[in-house]
Structure 1
Amino acid sequence: MYFDLTDLRLILKVVESGNITAAANRSHLSLASASARVRALEASLNTPLFERGRRGVTPTPAGQAMAQHARLILQQVERMQSDLGDYAKGFKGRVRLLGNSSALSEHLPELLADFLVSNPSIDVELEEHPSLRILHALRQGAADIGIISDAVDASDLQTLPFRDDPLALLMPLGHPLAGEETLSFSQALDHEFVGMSANSALALYLEEQSLHVGRRLKIRVRAEGFDAAMRMVARGVGLSVMPQVVLQRWQTPRPFQSVALNDPWAQRRLLLCARDFNALPGYARVLLDALKQG
């Protein structure tokens, strides 16, 4: 069996995206080249790695096993190059960092910018996911570091405190719920909402919380980003839930009202998370130290 690192990276991207075309684009390969590489691997193994369907591909047991080994091999290659230091001239370490909506939009931009300027040999692959998906990726070795909510069970992984990140309920001025000092999420579910994009971590989190009380969010419109949601709330479209830290960027006077949510899950904290902090590659530990100190 013959393969190269491009093959391994491609297999991982096919597994992650469920689509060879998307994986080819992310790997900077033509579709024909990517398909040929997958077929060549399957021929050399004499077993299919993926099941093809109209909506994409799903890994076979052999494909899942190869993806797991590919992650380990690529991680070991990066660790080797990092440990060689000056002998690996031109190598750029790449850290895969996953976070929820609040971490990516509010807590990380300036912190990551300063880190990248100070560390030109390290790149960061940043993706937004709900906390449960981040835990799954960490357990599978598909990410180096995650930033998760403390509302999920990460007892089998290592965690460190990152930020307090409580949620607030926004409402137009004069809304029937205005004037309350605190509210529960269930009290708001009789009213219409400005939601976040359907695939955002916060949107999935709020949908899960509403289902826990046997309700569904009444979404009038979905906004692309917290700023857009605040502007729609200010115009009277409906309620919205977002991290309190977002409100600190809106200059006063505010054309809306905010109320703290008193649900325990809304008093959340963000945690840094990894399978084993000490086992991270050297360049990933440099990023971890920056996140702890930032």
Structure 2
Amino acid sequence: MHFDFIDLRLFLNVLEAGNITAGATHSHLSLASASARIRALEASLDTPLLERGRRGVTPTPAGKALGQHARLILQQVERMQFDLADYAKGFKGRVRLLCNTSTLSEHLPELLADFLVTHPNIDIDLEEQPSLRILHAMRHGTADIGIISDAMDASDLQTRPFRDDPLTLILPVDHPLCSFTSIRFTQTLDHEFVGMSASSALGIYLEEQALHAGKRLRIRVRAEGFDGVIRMVAHGAGLGIVPQAAVNRWQGSGTFKALRLDDSWADRRLLLCAADFDTLPGYAKALLKHLE
């Protein structure tokens, strides 16, 4: 079998994205070049690695095996480079970190900035994903560390506490629900919302919770980021659901009311997770220690 590290990184990116076009883009390759590399891998193995469909690609059993080995090989190379960093000037270890919307917006910016300042030889590949997709990535070895909600079943992974992260309902001060002192999510679903962007992890999660209750969120407008949601709610556009940390941090103009959500899934904690903390490469362990 003939391959190089570009082939292996490309294949992992394709598995993560679920299609060759996105995998090629993430690998900084043209679609034609990426397709040719994958065909060459399949030819050298004399077996298909991907099942092509209308909605993208999925790995065959051989593709899953290659993905696992590719991840291990690339991790070993990065570990070697990290261990020899004092001798190989210019090398930068790279940690792949996946997290949900709240973590990315409220808890990580200062933490990661401080880490990058004190660890000039380590870069971070940071990506926002819903907790379910983070779990999928961790189980398939396509990320080093994940940060997920404790509402997810991560019993097959190792976890450590990260932060408390309760969700809070915010509403205009003249809204009919202002008379409540606490409220359940289902009691809000007949009212209009300011939603998060359709691609945000929290936005997806809240719409799933509404569907579990047999309804859909009545979204009038979507905002980019928690500050945008709060500003629109404060000016009367509708209800919003944001992390309590975003409410605590708010220093903008306008007033609104915040109510605790009496739903177990809203009283959440964030967890660090990995397949095995002890086997993480040294640069990933350095980041893990900083986050704990």
TM range, smaller chain: over 0.9
Match of 1:171 in 2: 171
Match of 2:58 in 1: 58
For residue 58 of structure 1, report the CA deviation from its aligned partner. Answer: 3.1
Match of 2:266 in 1: 266
* Deviates further, 212-221 or 189-198: 212-221
Match of 2:242 in 1: 242
CA distance in 1, matches of 2:272, 2:18: 28
Match of 1:276 in 2: 276
* Deviates further, 167-176 or 232-241: 232-241
Structure 1 residues 222-273: Cα deviation after superposition (integer angstroms, max 9, x where no partner): 2221111112212222111010110122226642211111212111111111
CA distance in 2, matches of 1:161, 1:246: 20
Match of 2:77 in 1: 77
Distance 1:201 1:48, change over 3 A: same
For residue 193 of structure 1, report the CA deviation from its aligned partner. Answer: 1.0
Aligned residues: 292
Paired amino acid for 1:263: D
Paired residue secondary structure (2:163)? strand
Paired residue secondary structure (1:190)? coil
Paired amino acid for 1:46: D
Structure 1 residues 97-151: Cα deviation after superposition (integer angstroms, max 9, x where no partner): 1111100011001110111111110000111112222122112111111111111
CA distance in 1, matches of 2:153, 2:19: 30
Match of 2:16 in 1: 16
For residue 164 of structure 1, report the CA deviation from its aligned partner. Answer: 1.0
Paired residues of 2:48 and 2:60 also in contact (CA < 8 A): yes
4+ residue stretches of structure 1 with deviation over 6 A?
A: none
For residue 210 of structure 1, report the CA deviation from its aligned partner. Answer: 1.9
Distance 1:264 1:45, change over 3 A: same
Paired residues of 2:16 and 2:137 also in contact (CA < 8 A): no
Distance 1:43 1:238, change over 3 A: same
CA distance in 2, matches of 1:151, 1:58: 27
Paired residues of 2:235 and 2:254 also in contact (CA < 8 A): no
Paired residue secondary structure (1:260)? strand
Paired residue secondary structure (2:178)? coil
CA distance in 1, matches of 2:30, 2:132: 33
Q: CA RMSD in A?
A: 1.7
Summarize the alignment of residues 35-54 of structure 1 with structure 2, pairs less than 5 Å apart: 35-54=35-54
CA distance in 2, matches of 1:22, 1:264: 36
CA distance in 2, matches of 1:252, 1:46: 61
TM-score by length of 2: 0.94
Structure 1 residues 11-52: Cα deviation after superposition (integer angstroms, max 9, x where no partner): 111122223222222112222322221121122112222233
Paired amino acid for 2:165: D
Q: Check if 1:28 corresponds to 2:32.
A: no
CA distance in 1, matches of 2:51, 2:153: 32
Paired residue secondary structure (1:265)? coil
Match of 1:231 in 2: 231
For residue 168 of structure 1, report the CA deviation from its aligned partner. Answer: 0.6
Paired residue secondary structure (2:177)? coil
Q: Percent identical across equivalent pairs?
A: 71
* Deviates further, 232-241 or 94-103: 232-241
